[in-house]
């Protein structure tokens, strides 16, 4: 049984100590503004090396918190951080160079550039579902941009939080990077401090609290939130490919992924075939249902509270007449926080599973025949963090992409947009504000400072007194530019 399953409340951080760390980092941030690319790259290389050197410790911590299998830890925790560090190391020198801009006609005789400056003292509040990845990934960007950071990991994965506190202390002094642990009271105290930038990953509900707190100090924010990410499986889709891909995308990490497929529209002509293909895919990925409870390649729910929440969603749907097309044969195991892959059909429109973000291994299927009605239904909900479409028909794909809005999308795949280093990752409105990863992450933790240098411009010709030639020249310029 995972320790996290016991829902042990962690000790809250000492507010005076947290303030001391913040003040020390505010002083250190001034000197970090002038660090070179080579100095920042050296730190990133040392952080990257720790991911390799302490891999076994990371496996152990993730297993202790929610029985996450080591191969899945490699793929979803260690690899993304290493890739993020590699990308920053490779490109940081060019990212830090001032970006020269051509003068406009009115600015003839000047030169201009955008300089990328560290925002200063940053707060990263990370979630429990990918505790290493979603803590250290943003940290890579913050360090690349030259900031100091206080990291507040989730209290629901205490083994990973403890591990990161030790790992980061091996690479950084506390006045540059510090881990502060605790629960709600600690987060509240941290949000009262005048950070220059806050990077938060979590639910839209808590994101609103973070944004309100940031407004008190006019701090900039990056909010990576969640929501209900829809999937459309058209009748022209490769059914076996779609089912296999979505079985992985939905049930990896036991469905506890912010960009996991949350609910699915499947064309009515292929629903039965899709369900059977999903069953076959799950048997291949994780084994028969009777084998799943002993399968160590299948992650567990993080704690008892979330286990009960997800089970309540299943119960509500079935009470309203939903059919357990997959799942239900093997009971959930509360002591181990186990819930097997569950696929629901004939789901009542008022079911909670179609209204609330599931964040677990439950996939409701809604049949459709009219794509326009599906698009309208998606647009009636808050904008999701991800949207997926499976089809061979390019016209269908274009109709979906052109008429919906989402933080990111995949066509005939799921979740891999997170791993593309040259793409921005982020939400829109209810699913987030701002972007991360690669150059976008570097810019999220940087202030883009505009600098104009005077050479031989004609600006003096626009100065008062507004008489004679000056008055005529201003009128001429306005008309000519028009």
Q: What is the pLDDT of residues 194-206, one digit of tens each?
A: 999 999 999 999 9
Q: What is the pLDDT of residue 91?
A: 98
CATH number, domain containing residue 394 = 3.40.309.10
Do 202 and 130 share a structural domain? yes
Phi and psi torsions of 195, nearest 5°: -65, 155
Q: Judge whether 299 counts as a catalytic residue.
A: no
pTM for this entry: 0.94
- Residue 460 in any domain: the answer is no
* Cβ 18 vs Cβ 180: under 8 Å: yes
pLDDT > 90? residue 42: yes
Question: Known catalytic residue: 122?
Answer: no
Find out whether 129 and 430 touch, Cβ atoms under 8 Å: no
| Counts of helices then strands in the chain (DSSP H, E) | 17, 16
* Active-site residue, from 258, 299, 357, 410: 258
CA distance 482 to 445: 38
Residues 6+ apart with CB under 8 A from 240: 277, 281
Contact at 8 Å (CB) between 307 and 334?
yes
Residue located via tokens 């075939």: 273
Tokens representing 147?
Answer: 């900031």
In a domain, 474, yes or no: no
Total of domains in the chain: 2
4 pLDDT band, cuts 50/70/90, is very low
pLDDT at residue 338 above 60? Answer: yes
Is the predicted pLDDT of residue 64 greater than 50, yes or no?
A: yes
d(CA 67, CA 255): 14
Q: Which domain holds residue 279?
A: 230-419
**Of residues 51, 317, 312, the one with CA closest to residue 171:** 51
* Whether residue 330 sits in one domain with residue 266: yes
Per the domain annotation, does 457 fall within a domain?
no
pLDDT in tens, 226-238: 889 999 999 999 9
CATH (domain of 177): 3.40.605.10
Cβ atoms of residues 125 and 199 within 8 Å? yes
| List 77, 84, 155, 224, catalytic entry | 224
Given a cut of 50, whether residue 449 has pLDDT beyond it is yes
pLDDT, tens digit, 9 for 90 and up, residues 344-387:
999 999 999 999 999 999 999 999 999 999 999 999 999 999 99
Give phi and psi for 87, each to the nearest 5. Answer: -65, -45
What's the chain's length in residues? 482
142 & 45 share domain: yes
* Cα 364 from Cα 314, distance rounded (Å): 10
In this predicted structure, which of 98-102, 149-153, 418-422, 476-480 has the lowest mean pLDDT? 476-480
Burial 51-64 (b: 16+ CB within 10 A, else e): beebeeebbbbbbb
Share the mean pLDDT of the chain.
Answer: 94
């Amino acid at each position: 049984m995972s320790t996290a399953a016991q829902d042990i409340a962690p000790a809250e951080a000492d507010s005076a100590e947290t303030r001391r760390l913040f003040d020390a980092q505010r002083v250190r941030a001034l000197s970090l503004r002038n660090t070179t690319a080579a100095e920042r790259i050296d730190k990133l290389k040392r952080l990257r090396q720790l991911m390799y050197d302490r891999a076994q410790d990371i496996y152990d911590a993730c297993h202790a918190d929610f029985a996450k299998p080591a191969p899945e830890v490699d793929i979803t925790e260690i690899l993304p951080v290493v890739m993020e560090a590699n990308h920053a190391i490779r490109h940081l020198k060019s990212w830090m160079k001032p970006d020269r801009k051509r003068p406009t006609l009115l600015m003839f005789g000047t030169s201009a550039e955008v300089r990328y400056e560290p925002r200063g003292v940053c707060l990263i509040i990370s979630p429990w579902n990918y505790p290493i990845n979603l803590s250290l990934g943003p940290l890579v960007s913050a360090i690349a941009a030259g900031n100091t950071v206080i990291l507040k990991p989730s209290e629901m994965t205490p083994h990973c939080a403890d591990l990161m506190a030790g790992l980061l202390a091996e690479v950084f002094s506390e006045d540059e990077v510090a881990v502060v642990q605790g629960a709600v009271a600690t987060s509240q105290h941290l949000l009262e401090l005048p950070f220059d930038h806050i990077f938060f990953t979590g639910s839209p509900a808590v994101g609103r609290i973070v944004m309100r707190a940031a407004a008190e100090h006019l701090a900039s924010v990056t909010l990576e939130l969640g929501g209900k990410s829809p999937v459309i499986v058209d009748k022209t889709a490769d059914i076996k490919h779609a089912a296999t891909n979505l079985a992985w995308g939905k049930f990896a990490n036991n469905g506890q992924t912010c960009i996991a497929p949350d609910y699915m529209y499947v064309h009515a002509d292929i629903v039965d075939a899709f369900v059977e293909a999903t069953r076959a895919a799950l048997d291949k990925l994780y084994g028969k249902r009777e084998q799943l409870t002993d399968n160590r390649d299948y992650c567990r729910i993080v704690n008892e509270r979330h286990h009960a929440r997800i089970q309540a969603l299943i119960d509500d749907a079935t009470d309203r007449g939903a059919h357990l097309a997959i799942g239900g044969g093997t009971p959930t195991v509360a002591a181990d926080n186990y819930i097997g892959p569950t696929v629901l059909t004939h789901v009542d429109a008022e079911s909670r599973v179609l209204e609330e973000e599931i964040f677990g291994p439950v996939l409701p299927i809604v049949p459709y025949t009219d794509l326009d009605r599906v698009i309208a239904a998606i647009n009636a909900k808050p904008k999701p963090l991800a949207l997926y479409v499976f089809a061979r028909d390019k016209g269908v794909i274009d109709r979906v992409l052109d008429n919906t809005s989402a933080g990111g999308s995949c066509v005939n795949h799921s979740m891999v947009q997170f791993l593309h280093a040259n793409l921005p990752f982020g939400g829109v409105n209810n699913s987030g504000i701002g972007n991360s990863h690669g150059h976008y992450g570097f810019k999220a933790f940087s202030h883009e400072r505009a600098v104009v240098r005077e050479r031989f411009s004609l600006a003096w010709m626009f100065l008062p007194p507004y008489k004679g030639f000056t008055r005529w020249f201003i009128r001429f310029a306005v008309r000519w530019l028009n």
